[in-house]
Amino acid sequence: MFGLHIGLIAQNYQTVNSSVTTAFIGNNDQQVESIRIDSSFVYGGDSVFYPFYNIQMIDYDCYLPFSYSWIGKKMIIKPDGYNCFINRENDTVKINTFAQLNENWIAYEISDTIIVAEVVKHDTLSFLGQTDSAKTISFTAYNQNMDSISLPINNKTIIISENFGLLETMNFSLFPSIVQGNQGVQTYDLLGMSSPEIGIVNLTWREIYDFDIGDEIHISGYDSHVEYPTTLHTEHKEKYIYLAKIVFSDSIIYTVDREEQIIGRRTAPWGNTIETHTYIHDTVAMVYKADSVLDKLSGEIINNTADVTGVPEYVDGNISDVRIEIGDTIKKTLIAHQKIKENYLGSNDGCWILYDYEMYFVVPHCLKGLGGPYYDYMFFEFAEERVLQYYKKGDKTWGTPLVITPLSISDMDNKNIVNIYPNPTDGKLHITYAETLHATSVQMFDVVGKQYSVGAKHILPNEEIEIDISHLAAGMYFLRIDGKVFKVVKQ
């Protein structure tokens, strides 16, 4: 981000503030769009703002990246109260923020069209936990004889708050007309802003992987593909219970109780199938690191124009943006576009089109406080799925819990093999192993991975060993016995 901010205009009812990031949701398509000013300067007394550019639909199934923002190519804040939005045709849309109730002005004019704006309401509104004075501005289209004409802009409104800027806006880049396809002028409601921090502005990696102690996540999935002439198919169930949490500036480390079942099948053309079963129940450390891609705003471009292996010959490259969806949970998805080669099949417009995910890509999405990525992908002999089936967060539950059943004696739960008591303990632990088994290694760790001496090196069949942990601080610890991990609580 760059720009000279010295001398920038700041007014009451100013539509956009150069230091505030905002998010809006479309009233028609429910798509979330963002405004962040990436550069600004003062020119002739005017403040000029350039928002980050995003991928825009310019025709049916034709998109252009890096051309302009949904809110306009730029905004010009003038000392006389006019806030000007420059649309994709480089025409100016004027918003008179100083106008009083019932005052009108020409907001837009080209050869045969005049758009008149009027302040139709000036009152106090409540929004996102705030209350402020606000002006509602309505638009009406006329011809040069000032006869009313029918345009999609008629009766559409925007709302400007005295201290918070735009509460309701429209995609001024398309003002005032509809383009081909399903894109056109629509209104957007404020979803959130960065200063003050209200509502929803973004969904970051930290919010996605924000689990609390006791949270539980169940995931199922499969992957299937052909290694001619054999078909390989793997099904898996995963259950995670979050036991401990350490937060750093660039990462989060969780101690997690993991239970997983994996069933693999290899099938030959003549019908012979080899099936394998794996069962895991242990305690592991899961580390989530800062992710600049997941931190992108809704509509922000991930610049990646490299060719994608295996795509059709008419594809010249690919580019992605991220999108936030608002529902029962907040979801962030990567959306890909592909560049069509010039003059291929008569195409010479340099269009980017929406990538056909199901043909070449796994489409990942993440959920607020529920992790990810999750996806569902299928293409002929290739298929892959990772789906959230159940979660428990605090008192809230959703979905149906997975049932994981060990399928052989070797898959028995660790608790049937090892007996550890008393647990919790204030001093000594007693450990016995299954009657016909023995352990060759015993180790002890705390929640951050620090190892402690336990004295015992192994456990023989029918033998009971004693471990003194009275010198350790109260808290949670983990015993690792031959690769199996058990939670121990020191009181």
pLDDT in tens, 394-406: 999 999 999 887 6
Largest CA distance in the chain: 101
CA 159 – CA 139 distance, rounded (Å): 12
Domains of the chain plus CATH, in order, are: 22-199 (no CATH), 202-410 (no CATH), 413-490 (2.60.40.10)
Let me know: does 90 contact 104? Beta carbons within 8 Å: no
Mean pLDDT of 356-378: 74
* E strand or H helix at 207: helix 205-208
In this prediction, residue 463 has a pLDDT band, given cuts at 50, 70 and 90, of confident
pLDDT reported for residue 414: 46
pLDDT reported for residue 384: 85
What is the token pair recorded at 217? 């996540």
What does DSSP assign to residue 359? H
Determine which of 11-15, 309-313, 414-418, 435-439 has the lowest per-residue pLDDT on average: 309-313
Residue 111 has pLDDT above 70, yes or no: yes
Pairing mode, if any, of strands 230-247 and 216-227? antiparallel
Determine which of 63-72, 278-287, 407-416, 459-468 has the lowest per-residue pLDDT on average: 407-416
Residue 87 has pLDDT above 60, yes or no: yes
Determine which of 25-39, 256-270, 301-315, 381-395 has the lowest per-residue pLDDT on average: 301-315
pLDDT reported for residue 462: 65
Residue 418 has pLDDT above 90, yes or no: no
Which of 265, 219, 253 has its CA nearest to residue 402?
Answer: 219
In this prediction, residue 78 has a pLDDT band, given cuts at 50, 70 and 90, of very high
In this prediction, residue 133 has a pLDDT band, given cuts at 50, 70 and 90, of very high
Which of 111, 129, 134 has its CA nearest to residue 13?
Answer: 134
Question: Is the omega angle on the peptide bond into residue 152 within 30 degrees of 0, that is, cis?
Answer: no
Residue 60 has pLDDT above 90, yes or no: no
User: Whose structure tokens read 């001024």?
Assistant: 172
pLDDT reported for residue 472: 84
CA 414 – CA 480 distance, rounded (Å): 11
pLDDT reported for residue 271: 63
What does DSSP assign to residue 58? E
In this prediction, residue 306 has a pLDDT band, given cuts at 50, 70 and 90, of very low
pLDDT reported for residue 302: 82
Q: What percent of the chain has pLDDT over 70?
A: 78
In this prediction, residue 304 has a pLDDT band, given cuts at 50, 70 and 90, of low
Tally of residues, the chain: 491
Write the pLDDT tens digit of every residue in 67-76: 899 999 999 9
Residue 437 has pLDDT above 70, yes or no: no
In this prediction, residue 140 has a pLDDT band, given cuts at 50, 70 and 90, of very high
Which of 18, 22, 16, 24 has its CA nearest to residue 2?
Answer: 18
Core vs surface per residue 327-355: b (16+ CB within 10 A) or e: eeebbbbbbbbbbbeeeeeeeeeebbbeb
Question: Is the omega angle on the peptide bond into residue 401 within 30 degrees of 0, that is, cis?
Answer: no
Q: What percent of the chain has pLDDT over 90?
A: 48
* E strand or H helix at 279: strand 273-289
CA angle 101, 104, 108 (to 5 degrees): 140
DSSP string, 59-90: ETTEEEEEEEBTTBSEEEE-TTSEEEEE-TTS
Residue 330 has pLDDT above 50, yes or no: yes
Write the pLDDT tens digit of every residue in 475-484: 877 777 765 6
Query: What's the mean pLDDT when you consider all of the chain?
Result: 82
In this prediction, residue 362 has a pLDDT band, given cuts at 50, 70 and 90, of low
In this prediction, residue 180 has a pLDDT band, given cuts at 50, 70 and 90, of very low
Which of 53, 74, 75, 100 has its CA nearest to residue 9?
Answer: 75
